[in-house]
Amino acid sequence: MLKLKGSHHPVISYRPIRPSDLEVLERIHCDLFPIRYETEFFHNVVHGRDIVSWGAVDRNRPNGHSDELIGFLTARIVMAKDSEVEDLLRFDSSKSDQTLVYILTLGVVDSYRNFGIASSLIREAIKYAASISNCRAVYLHVISYNNPAIHLYKKMSFQCVRRLHAFYFINGQHYDSYLFIYYVNGGRSPCSPLELVMLLVTYAKSGFKLAASRLWRNEDRKISKWAKCKESGSLLPTMQNKRIVIADSGAGGGCQFV
């Protein structure tokens, strides 16, 4: 594993990934990720076959390693209408050419972390997406236990819009995934924050009206039953109240959101 000497001052620069990076790119992926990628994937990256990529190098590395990859980001352009985030976009459905940039992999070797390399690579991807006039967003998946990556994307204003259960299957075990999205070129979610608030208010009002109408009907029934009971000289049974208590207790115990 690469180790930096205390006196070393990195000079980081960014460039496209090239065919000469194949061996190093494959090695870093193997070192960093629990997922194993096919050889074809790496060949597609270095030759730019339907994949765009950026590499980070340290121009101040000695011994002829100044152009060797220390970080990378790979991505693919996908059609918005065919993507899994189509429902998270507001766009004219008649325009079938609208696209998205999907980040495939992002990594930085251990000894070069905390130099802002990952952030810079993400900014390169965002800048690239923004340069495509019909691109509406950048999106990606993050495995649920990767807290540093989750923190990084949130810091860079990506929105965590969905949690996908058992999205990854690694070494015989399922893991959840978070879906993050960053809108560009006027792309936005189907509901703006103001529209979402208004929608919630509308739902709250309709729910209140429904609850009030049910309560009113229940009161009418109680009055009717009480009148009948008075005529027969007996009391109303208490079973209805027990059911309400049990239902409330069950609902409270079951609504655990983590």
What is the C-alpha to C-alpha distance for residues 18 and 20, in angstroms, rounded to an integer?
5
Per-residue confidence (pLDDT) for residue 8, from 0 to 100: 84
How many Cβ atoms are within 10 Å of 165's Cβ, its own excluded?
Answer: 9
| Tens-digit pLDDT profile for residues 39-54 | 999 999 999 999 999 9
Spans in the chain with pLDDT lower than 50: 199, 223, 225-258
Per-residue confidence (pLDDT) for residue 165, from 0 to 100: 97
pTM above 0.75? no
What is the C-alpha to C-alpha distance for residues 134 and 132, in angstroms, rounded to an integer?
6
| Tens-digit pLDDT profile for residues 164-186 | 999 999 999 999 999 999 999 99
Per-residue confidence (pLDDT) for residue 243, from 0 to 100: 28
Per-residue confidence (pLDDT) for residue 189, from 0 to 100: 79
Per-residue confidence (pLDDT) for residue 202, from 0 to 100: 55
What is the C-alpha to C-alpha distance for residues 32 and 170, in angstroms, rounded to an integer?
14
Mean pLDDT of the chain: 81
